[in-house]
Amino acid sequence: MEKEQRGELIVGLDIGTTKICAVIGEAYADHINIIGVGTHPSVGIKKGMVVNIESTVDSIRRALSEAEEMAGCEVNTVCVGIAGSHIKGFTSPGIVGIKNRQITREDIGRVIDAARAVNISQNQEIIHVLPQGFMVDDHTGIQDPLGMTGVRLVTNVHIVTGNATAVHNLIMCCNRAGLQVSDIVLESLASASAVLTREEMDLGVALLDIGGGTSDLAVFSNGTIKHIFELGLGGNNLTNDLSIGLRTPLLEAERLKNQYGSALTSMIDKDQIIEVPTVGDRNPRRLSQKIMGEILEPRIEEMLFLINQEIVDSSFKDRINAGVVITGGTALLTNIVELAEQIFDMPVRIGTPQGLGEVPEIIYTPQYATGVGLVIYSSRNSTGKRFRSREKSVVGRMGSWFKSRFRGM
C-alpha cells in the first residue's frame, strides 16, 4: 500500500488556568490526523490572563514536548486559544454600494471592512470579525452573496475583542518558548468546531465551556455565532470551596472533586462514605459524600443560573432550539446534565470531540475539546501558509483522523 504523504502540521495550544494542552494535527484535503497530545499543569495563568510569564513558558514547553514525543516530530508554530472575562463581543453593521452590479470578493471584503470600522477602547484588540449573513438590496438571509447582482450590499458582523495586554502576553509566552503564533482564536469558537454539529448550529445551540478559571458561553443560530459571554467562575471555584469546606489541601480537593463530585446532592447515596485527607500530620477523616455534594451543588447552581440569566438577557433563549452543550473539564461532574436541564429548561448534553477515528480514549473527553478544536478551526480558517515541522521519526504516531464532516464550519 502506498504510504500517505505527510500533510501540513497544525498545532492547537490551549493555555488554560488549570492545564496547558498541546494538540498536533496533520491537515489533508479531506481530513485531519491527530498525531500528538501533551498536557502540563498551568500555574502562570489566572482567569485567562498571564500572571507569571516564566511559569507559563515552562508549562508550554513541557506540554509541547510531550505532544512532540507522541507525534515523533518537532513544531515551531501554534494556533493559540484565548478566553477570560476581558473578552467582549458585539454586533456591528456595514453597508456599501456595488460598483458593477455583480458582487465580487472585493465587494464582500469592503462591506466587512465597513462593519469592522468601529471605535474600541485603546486597551482592547480585535480578535475576530465574524459575518452573520448578508443582504443584497431587499433580499435577506444570504450566506454567500458572491456573484449575485444588486446595487447595495449589507452585512452584520460579530466583533470579538480582548484585552490587548492579555493578547500580547500570550504571544510573548509562546515566543519565549520558541514558538511562532499563527493565530489567536476565541476558545469557545474553537471548542464549537470540535463538539457541535452543523445541525445544532443551524437550529440554534448554546455552548458552555466550563474551564478552570472561567465559564465561556457562545450562542449559535443559523450557522453563525450570535452572542458570547465570559463568566469569571469555573472549576477552580468548586475546588476552592471544597478545600475550605472540607479543610483539605487544594490538590486533595481537586482529586476528591474529580473522583466523587456530584452536581446533585439528592442523587448521592446517603450511606456513601469518603476519606478526606487533612492538613498537617492529622489522620484523614471519614465523611458522608453528601457533605461534599452540599458544598458543590450551590456553587454549580450559581454558575448555571448566571449563564441562564445571560442567555435570557441576550434575547436568544427562544432561538436555542437544539439545547445546551456543556464541555470543558467540569462537564465530567456527575449529574451536571440533570441539574443544567432543570435550570435551563431545555435539553443538555456533554460535548466531546466528534468525527474521530481510532485515537486514544483520552481525546474523547471534554477537557480536550478546545485543543482539538483549535486544530480543526485553524485548518478551515488559516489564510496564510502554515509552517512545516522538522520531522524526527514516525515511531509512535497515531494514524487516526478527523473526517471531513466538520470542514467549512
Residue 395 lies in a domain: no
| CATH number of the domain to which 217 belongs | 3.30.420.40
pLDDT in the model for residue 29: 75
- Whether residues 347 and 283 share a domain: the answer is yes
Q: What is the mean pLDDT of residues 154-178?
A: 96
- Whether residues 205 and 336 share a domain: the answer is yes
Q: Mean pLDDT check: name the lowest of 25-39, 167-181, 202-216, 349-363.
A: 349-363
Residue 115 lies in a domain: yes
| pLDDT band, residue 403 (cuts 50/70/90) | very low
| pLDDT band, residue 271 (cuts 50/70/90) | confident
pLDDT in the model for residue 363: 81
191 has pLDDT over 90: yes
- Whether residues 323 and 221 share a domain: the answer is yes
- In this structure, are residues 252 and 341 in contact, taking their beta carbons and an 8 Å threshold? no
1 has pLDDT over 60: no
Residue 271 lies in a domain: yes
pLDDT in tens, 223-242: 999 999 999 999 999 999 99
C-alpha cell at position 118: 468601529
pLDDT in the model for residue 359: 65
- Exposure class string for 172-201: b at 16+ Cβ within 10 A, else e: ebbeebebebbbbbbbbbbbbbbbbbeebb
pLDDT in tens, 77-106: 999 999 988 999 999 999 999 988 899 999
- Whether residues 145 and 233 share a domain: the answer is no
Q: Structure pTM?
A: 0.88
Average pLDDT, the chain: 88
- Whether residues 256 and 150 share a domain: the answer is no
| CATH number of the domain to which 111 belongs | 3.30.1490.110
- Whether residues 204 and 349 share a domain: the answer is yes
Count up the domains in the chain and report the number: 2
Domain that holds residue 117: 88-163
